[in-house]
Structure 1
Amino acid sequence: MPIVVDIDVMLAKRKMSVGALAERVGITPANLAVLKNGRAKAVRFTTLAALCEVLECQPGDLLRWEPGDQAGDVPLGGSGAQPLARGGPDS
């Protein structure tokens, strides 16, 4: 996917663990790992805003675009993928 997630970089700069970030943002460590490892298909703006608030950064510090053409890329308009939610299944 041409969108690269750089949460690891910000975690290292802030000397923060994944578990601590997940707790402070209000998402599960499993959901944060999905996002951190680039496996998420979407992220809610509220989650992105919470990440930026806790990490004291801008969205561009966490996400960047790299050109590339992969077979799994979905054109704009939707894949039907659900956004990565904050909290549990009832969020």
Structure 2
Amino acid sequence: MPIIVNVDVMMAKRKISSTELSQKMGITMANLSILKNNKAKAVRFSTLEKLCEILDCQPGDILEYVKD
């Protein structure tokens, strides 16, 4: 898949655990895991906005396009 989700990279940079991020976002650990492991087929703008708010980053820090 040419779109890579770098949530795990930003979490490491911000030193935040999966448990803490899922609680702050109000999503389950399972849904966060789907994002972290690049298994998501889509991401809502509201979810992306919340990730950026909590991780203090830009959407481009989380999403990356890699040509096949």
Q: Does the alignment reach a TM-score above 0.5?
A: yes
Quote the RMSD (CA, aligned, Å): 0.6
Question: Which residue is equivalent to 2:43?
Answer: 43
- Larger Rg belongs to: 1
TM-score (ref. length: structure 2): 0.96
Moved >6 Å (runs of 4+): none
Paired residue total: 68
Unaligned runs of 5+ in 2: none
Higher relative contact order (CA 8 A, sep 6+): 2
Q: When the two structures are superposed, what TM-score results if normalisation uses the length of structure 1?
A: 0.73
| Higher normalized helix content (fraction of residues) | 2
Unpaired stretches in structure 1, ≥5 consecutive residues: 69-91
Between the aligned residues of both structures, percent identity stands at 59
